Chains A and B, each alone.
Chain A
Amino acid sequence: MDLTSLTVHELSGLLQKREVSSVEAAQAYLNRIASLNARLGAYITVTADEAIEAAKEADKRLLSGASSPLTGVPVSVKDIFCTAGVKTTCASKILERFIPVYDAAVVARLKDAGAVILGKNNMDEFAMGSSTENSAFFPARNPWDLQRVPGGSSGGSASAVAADLSAASVGTDTGGSIRQPASCCGVVGLKPTYGRVSRYGMIAFASSLDQAGPITKDVTDAAIMLKAIAGFDPLDSTSVDLSVPDFPCLLSGGVKGLRLGIPKEYFIEGMDSQVSASVNDALDCLKKEGALIVPITLPHTEYAVSVYYLLATAEASSNLARFDGVKYGLRVGAANLIDMYKKSRAAGFGAEVKRRIMLGTYALSAGYYDAYYKKASEVRALIKRDFDEAFKVCDVIATPTCPTPAFKLGEKTQDPLTMYLSDIFTISCNLAGIPGISMPCGFTKGKLPIGLQLLGRPFDEATILRAAYTFERTAGIGKEKPAL
């Protein structure tokens, strides 16, 4: 049996029954990483020794009976989460040698649950991108077609999970960075409600939008992972003090009477016909299961990308000011301080990061604040209001995750704006702070995965997980593996 092909809950079952050991599972994954990572670029750092040590501890814990559904399960995390004693680069040259002295809250919770961390996944530098081509080290690739991108920015996580290089991963999503790569790679990606998961120790891109969430092989795994990482953290003032539902236990129950809102603004011209066909099939399937289809409108959708690129870059320009060559990270020598700053930052940041810092700095600078940052904040409030209105008439909103399947490497790197527009369906969810999940709903003729996105009310991840689980069960998809 190939242990790496199992889901978290399947592997966990075997571990609990002591049919396999955590060390065996970890070793199987490490072997597969060793043979495939060079082609996929899914990991920046593999922590083989630490993983084996953690697996030994997990095996003891499994014997003692004091275990959780993640105990002994080999997982990975995006290289945006700080890991004590393990290099954390954010896929940037400026942090190439940075070794944190603390674990991110998400990492600490995974460790507490007994998960075995295999390593740190590749990503777009500072989570800025939709293709993982902006990694300062090497791009990650799509396991379904190595000439194509895995999406981004959590492309390494999605690629690793799709290619069985980890049982599950935790990524981050600022404008779609979990859901879009999950869609591109044919896996499940869940962005929780803003405030559901602590951001402590997660390197900030846009603080008011960033949220960590799982990328998994199926919906059940997403529920297990979310339960493990969610919850109030006194170190994050924006995390919310609400009890965490037992997500895995809330998956069944079906969708009878569930009102599925279909926003007209998301079924647009220029969308790939195979994508719309596949998503429509998924909706039909849910309808057959008893869901009610409700047409809705989200009138400010067309402004979401603009709002996002102003707010996210403004926050980023400030969040990335700490990378100045003083306390940590790359320093390029210079005779005076200002030159040191300018040279270090110019050498340490890649082109896309610099472009966004420039845009954000411009949007906040004297004379432009009202027209850009302030205006964007106000429109953001209207986008949020659109969702509040919509959720009065529906329970879940269903859309495609992306307008097109995964594109080819290099296809969009020349034109930043085209790249930005590939996030068009995922961005509003972050602006509104609501939860969203992407799950596979079919393939193109060329065997590229297509993703269905379900959006829910704030802190109602349970309902979108239940709808996703119902669809996964009935349609029977998500079982196919890429040939590698």
Chain B
Amino acid sequence: MPITTKDVMRVADLARLDVNEADAVLYASQLQKILGHVEKLSEVDTLGADDKTAKTAGTRPLREDKAVKGLSQDDALKNAPERSDGCIKVPQIIE
């Protein structure tokens, strides 16, 4: 199934990446090539292949419900690009 620049733009939108037309053409061909390679997975018979039990083997104990003081407000916001009154400041949301 060919990947169009429209597909690329939809994915870029989901991934919140600014992609211009020229990039989209390049991505389309690169993704096409990689996904073409990946196509061969469809030939594998995976009936009954489920590794959930393997993943749960040796399941760890959960965390006890005990509150512990975390970071100070200053440390929490230290790396924030913009802050104001103890909050992280972001541009307005326009859907």
Any chain A CB within 8 A of the CB of B67?
no
A382 and B93 form a contact (CB under 8 A): no
CB contacts under 8 Å to A, within B64-81, are 71, 75, 78-81
* A 317-331 contacts with B by CB, 8 A: 317, 321, 324-331
Judge whether B93 and A337 touch: CB under 8 Å. Answer: yes
Give the chain B neighbours of A361 by CB distance below 8 A: 11, 14-15
> Does A372 sit within 8 A of B, measured CB to CB?
yes
For the complex, is A341 an interface residue (Cβ under 8 Å from B)? yes
B55 shortest CB reach to chain A, Å: 9
A345-B18, A365-B11, A365-B14 are known contacts. Are A375 and B46 too (CB-CB below 8 A)? Answer: yes
A326 and B8 in contact (CB under 8 A), knowing A361-B14, A381-B54?
no
Shortest CB-to-CB span from A293 to chain B, Å, is 29
User: Is A112 an interface residue, CB under 8 A from the partner?
Assistant: no
**Taking each of B12, B19, B33, B41, which has the highest tally of chain A beta carbons within 10 Å of its own beta carbon?**
B41
In the bound assembly, the distance between CA atoms of A26 and B92 in angstroms comes to 50
Given contacts A101-B75, A326-B88, A355-B27, contact A338 B81 (CB under 8 A): no
Judge whether A357 is part of the interface by a CB distance below 8 angstroms.
yes
Interface residues on B, range: 35 or more
Q: Say whether A227 faces chain B, with CB atoms less than 8 Å apart.
A: no
Enumerate chain B residues within 8 angstroms of A378, measured Cβ to Cβ: 44, 46, 49-50
Q: In the complex, which residues 1-50 of chain B have their Cβ closer than 8 Å to any Cβ of chain A?
A: 3, 7-8, 10-12, 14-19, 27, 30-31, 33-35, 37-38, 40-42, 44, 46, 49-50
Q: Which residues of A contact B27 (CB under 8 A)?
A: 355, 358
A337 to B60, CA, bound (A): 39
The chain A residue with its CB closest to the CB of B38 is A306
Residue contact B51 to A336, C-beta cutoff 8 Å: no
Tell me, rounded to whole Å, the shortest Cβ–Cβ distance linking B29 to chain A.
11
**In the bound complex, what is the Cα–Cα distance between A349 and B17 (angstroms)?**
9
Q: Tell me whether B51 and A371 are in contact (CB under 8 A).
A: no
Closest Cβ–Cβ distance, residue B68 to chain A (whole Å): 12
The main secondary structure of chain A at its interface with chain B is helix
What residue of chain B has the Cβ atom nearest to residue A234's Cβ? B63
* Chain A contacts for B16, CB-based, 8 A: 321, 324, 338, 341-342, 345
Q: Are A331 and B81 within 8 A (Cβ)?
A: yes
Q: Is A376 close to B, CB under 8 A?
A: yes
Residue pair A417, B34 in contact (C-beta under 8 Å): yes
Known: A355-B27, A361-B11. A101 touches B91 (CB 8 A): no
CA distance A65 to B80 in the complex (A): 43
Contact A381/B92 with A358-B17, A358-B27, A416-B34 known, Cβ cut-off 8 Å: no
| Chain A positions 359 through 374: 1 when the CB is less than 8 Å from some CB of chain B, otherwise 0 | 1011001000001100
Closest chain B residue to A334, Cβ basis: B91
Distance between B13 CB and nearest chain A CB, rounded to angstroms? 8
**B35 / chain A contacts, CB cutoff of 8 Å:** 359, 362
Contacting residues, chain A, for B75 (C-beta < 8 A): 101
CB-CB under 8 A from B31, the residues of chain A are 355, 358-359, 362
Kindly report which residue of chain B lies nearest to residue A341, judged by CB atoms.
B16
CA distance A106 to B63 in the complex (A): 21
Chain B residues within CB distance 8 Å of chain A: 3, 7-8, 10-12, 14-19, 27, 30-31, 33-35, 37-38, 40-42, 44, 46, 49-51, 54, 58, 60, 63, 71, 75, 78-82, 88, 90-94
Binding site for B on A (CB under 8 A): 97-99, 101, 234, 237, 239-241, 300, 302-303, 305-307, 309-310, 317, 321, 324-331, 333-343, 345-346, 349, 354-355, 357-359, 361-362, 365, 371-372, 375-382, 384-385, 416-417, 420
Given A309-B34, A310-B38, A336-B94, 16 additional A-B pairs, CB 8 A: A239-B60, A300-B44, A328-B79, A337-B94, A338-B16, A340-B91, A343-B18, A345-B15, A355-B31, A361-B11, A362-B31, A362-B35, A379-B49, A380-B51, A381-B46, A381-B51
Of the A-B pairs whose beta carbons lie under 8 Å apart in the complex, a sample of 18, sorted by A's number, is A101-B75, A240-B58, A303-B41, A309-B34, A309-B38, A310-B38, A326-B90, A327-B88, A341-B16, A342-B18, A358-B12, A361-B11, A361-B15, A376-B38, A380-B51, A381-B49, A416-B33, A416-B34
Interface pairs A-B: 4 shortest CB-CB: A328-B79, A378-B46, A346-B18, A381-B51
